[in-house]
Amino acid sequence: MRVITGTARGKRLSTLEGESVRPTPDRVKEALFSIVQFEIEGRRVLDLFAGSGQLGIEALSRGAREAVFVDAGKEPAAMVRKNLESTGLTERAQVKNMDFAAFLLRSREPFDLAFLDPPYRTGLLQRALPLVAQAMNRGGTILCEHPADEELLGSAGDFVRTRSYRYGKIALTIYRHKDVAE
């Protein structure tokens, strides 16, 4: 797993081992960043359920102002820190080793772009989406990675589902504020 482009282009990222780990495949990551390529520069990014941190790190590499990585597991949080160090992106990052809901309820500064890629079929995505919508700027974008056969809510707070893309068994669903939705 490598950073695709930007200041950390080509840097190898470490990931945890085991069956519960499911890094975003490169082709899906490329598609995801193609969708939001003009929404990254200078923006504040949330990588919720961060895992290895590959999505937030890719955003930082492409010019995001700041990324906040949230994961409840100690090993994933340590892996994110390691990957930030190896890519030289630590200065513009915060790693929060805590439950997603606790973080979102305490979060004060809104986000411009949020990546949600929780463990599949756990209900975490459905629980997190409304809380993330409350933590977003009005012009922000929420991107969810989920199983293609799992239908997501049509809206979350003031954010509405605008588009879904399918990549084999994986889907990417985008939410934007109802006043600025496509």
What integer best gives the mean pLDDT of the chain?
Answer: 91
- Amino acid identity, position 33: F
pLDDT at 159: 96
Task: Indicate the CATH number for domain 26-177.
Answer: 3.40.50.150
CA separation for the pair 38, 40 (Å, rounded): 6
What tens digit of pLDDT does each residue of 98-140 get?
Answer: 999 999 999 889 999 999 999 888 999 999 999 999 999 999 9
Percent of the residues in the chain that have a pLDDT greater than 70, as a whole number? 96
pLDDT grade for 146, boundaries at 50, 70 and 90 = very high
Q: What is the Cβ-side half-sphere exposure of residue 55, based on CA atoms within 13 angstroms?
A: 33
CA separation for the pair 159, 128 (Å, rounded): 13
How is the chain split into domains, by residue range? 26-177
Strand ranges of the sheet holding 93-96, from the earlier edge strand across to the other edge = 93-96, 66-70, 44-48, 111-116, 136-147, 170-177, 159-167, 155-156
pLDDT at 178 over 70: yes
**Residue 103 vs residues 25, 73, 107, 158: alpha-carbon distances, Å:** 27, 13, 6, 20
pLDDT at 18 over 90: no
pLDDT at 97 over 60: yes
CA separation for the pair 133, 157 (Å, rounded): 6
**Do residues 73 and 15 touch, judged by C-beta distance below 8 A?**
no
